[in-house]
């Protein structure tokens, strides 16, 4: 009966989100566009609805179909992804579009298994697309649903060990009817009622069925193993302006590793200390404050060195660094840490 109570709640309280088709369209038997469902799901991986909403609209305007996305240069896709993080998502998104457009005639596979075989689509995303776009009763498991299941069934085993048990519970509840709405209802519930802290149990449509709530332990679930502390790394970024036209030198980072494939300012490796060996001899000016930024597994403190050079020195620098000149780096699609570098140079000039 969980699914009935939940769907009833969803019909009354569903969030209006740009990648969702409204209840009216569903009544007419329309299915959502798989391309849009896929795009939204990839964008939403480890990324909040608030962050995704404006970016989803922009992306869709630029790349309205899977064919358009497949035909675009990957650099354009990465530039559009700038600031969203986890840039492998953008490279895989582009790769996936090319597979779908080139090998599947532009049509997404309709089964969980077929979707899972595509780049950038893992267990969660395959299940979500199958359920939402193709009405398949797939077991959708994300962070929200894990939390809801942990509370509903009072699972006290810490994550990630609890994952198989939580999945079994979720599978036992997944309905054959409206599986896409059911999955989205569970995620909405996790996002708005069954929140990580201070869950609003008084408003919860599943309150009567929640064992954790009955035992007053819901705020302590799900338990999690705690994670390692982040070390701090140091480095230096170089902001080189070409005197003639004011263009700024940027480099393309290698596909593998942190910020893979993204444009960046030339910089040292990030390590134990900021050992600045400038790429060219020039009258460098050091910014007053370093850029501070936190990545998934370390903090970064990066000094910023600036210089404006003659066109001859500019050619030398470009050759040494294998860079490209950009008239306006603010428009180039820089990841956040290098956008911060840009902010520092604007402030100190």
Partner DNA sequence: AAAACGGGGGG
Partner DNA sequence: CCCCCAGTTTT
C-alpha to C-alpha distance for 167 and 142, rounded to whole angstroms: 10
The correct pick among 74, 88, 165, 251 for binding DNA (CB under 7 A) is: 88
CB of 190 vs DNA, minimal distance in Å: 6
DSSP letters spanning 78-118: HHHHTTS--THHHHHHHHHHHHHHHHSTT----SHHHHHTS
Q: Site map for DNA, 168-207, x if CB under 7 A?
A: ----------------x--xx-xx----xxx---------
The reply to whether 41 belongs to the active site is yes
C-alpha to C-alpha distance for 292 and 289, rounded to whole angstroms: 9
Residue 46 found at the interface with DNA (CB under 7 A): yes
Strand locations in 128-255 (E):
232-242, 248-252
Structure tokens at 53: 């909403």
Residue 284 found at the interface with DNA (CB under 7 A): no
Q: How many CA atoms lie within 13 A of 19 on its CB side?
A: 30
The active-site residue, picked from 30, 41, 67, 113, is: 41
Residue 24 found at the interface with DNA (CB under 7 A): no
CB of 56 vs DNA, minimal distance in Å: 10
Give the binding range for DNA (CB under 7 A) out of 139-147, 149-157, 199-207, 317-325: 139-147
C-alpha to C-alpha distance for 341 and 343, rounded to whole angstroms: 5
Give the binding range for DNA (CB under 7 A) out of 40-48, 199-207, 281-289, 304-312: 40-48
The correct pick among 7, 70, 100, 121 for binding DNA (CB under 7 A) is: 121
- Phi and psi at 264, nearest 5°, equal -160, 165
The correct pick among 227, 269, 273, 277 for binding DNA (CB under 7 A) is: 227
**What SS3 class is residue 54?**
helix
Residue with smaller CB distance to DNA, 296 or 322: 296
Structure tokens at 234: 């140091």
Angle at 250 between CA 87 and CA 96, to 5 degrees: 25
Residue 57 found at the interface with DNA (CB under 7 A): no
Residue with smaller CB distance to DNA, 3 or 242: 3
Cβ neighbours of residue 151 closer than 8 Å, sequence gap 6 or more: 194, 199, 210, 211, 212, 213, 218, 221, 222
Residue with smaller CB distance to DNA, 94 or 242: 94
Q: Which residues bind to DNA, rule: CB under 7 A?
A: 17, 19-20, 40-41, 44-51, 83-88, 92, 119-126, 128, 142-144, 147, 184, 187-188, 190-191, 196-198, 224, 226-230, 256-260, 293-297, 299, 335-337
Q: Which are the catalytic amino acids? A: 41
């Amino acid at each position: 009966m969980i699914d009935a109570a939940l769907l009833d709640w969803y019909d009354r309280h569903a969030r209006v989100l740009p990648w969702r088709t409204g209840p009216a369209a569903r009544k007419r038997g329309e299915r959502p566009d798989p391309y849009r469902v896929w795009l939204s799901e990839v964008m939403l991986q480890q990324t909040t609805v608030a962050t995704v909403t404006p970016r989803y609209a922009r992306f869709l305007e630029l790349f309205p179909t899977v064919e358009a996305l497949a035909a675009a240069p990957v650099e354009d896709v990465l530039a559009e992804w700038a600031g969203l993080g986890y840039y492998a998502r953008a490279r895989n998104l582009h790769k996936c579009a090319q597979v779908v457009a080139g090998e599947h005639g532009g049509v997404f596979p309709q089964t969980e298994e077929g979707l899972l075989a595509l780049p950038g689509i893992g267990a969660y995303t395959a299940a979500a697309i199958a359920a939402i776009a193709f009405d398949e009763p797939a077991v959708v498991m994300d962070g929200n649903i894990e939390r809801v299941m942990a509370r509903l069934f009072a699972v006290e085993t810490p994550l990630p060990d609890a994952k198989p048990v939580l999945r079994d519970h979720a599978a036992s509840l997944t309905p054959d009817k409206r599986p896409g709405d059911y999955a989205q209802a569970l995620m909405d519930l996790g996002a708005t009622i069954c929140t990580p802290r201070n869950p609003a149990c008084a408003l919860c449509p599943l309150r009567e069925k929640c064992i954790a709530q009955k035992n007053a332990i819901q705020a302590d679930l799900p338990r999690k193993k705690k994670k390692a502390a982040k070390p701090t790394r140091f480095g230096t970024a170089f902001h080189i302006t070409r005197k003639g036209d004011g263009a700024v030198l940027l480099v393309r980072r290698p596909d593998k590793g942190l910020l893979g494939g993204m444009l960046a300012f030339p910089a040292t490796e990030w390590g134990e200390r900021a050992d600045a060996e400038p790429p060219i001899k020039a009258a460098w000016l050091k910014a007053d404050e370093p850029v501070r930024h936190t990545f998934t597994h370390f903090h970064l403190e990066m000094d910023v060195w600036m210089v404006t050079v003659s066109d001859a020195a500019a050619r030398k620098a470009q050759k040494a660094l294998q860079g490209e000149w950009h008239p306006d780096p603010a428009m180039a699609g820089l990841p956040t840490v290098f956008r911060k570098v840009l902010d520092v140079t604007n402030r100190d000039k």
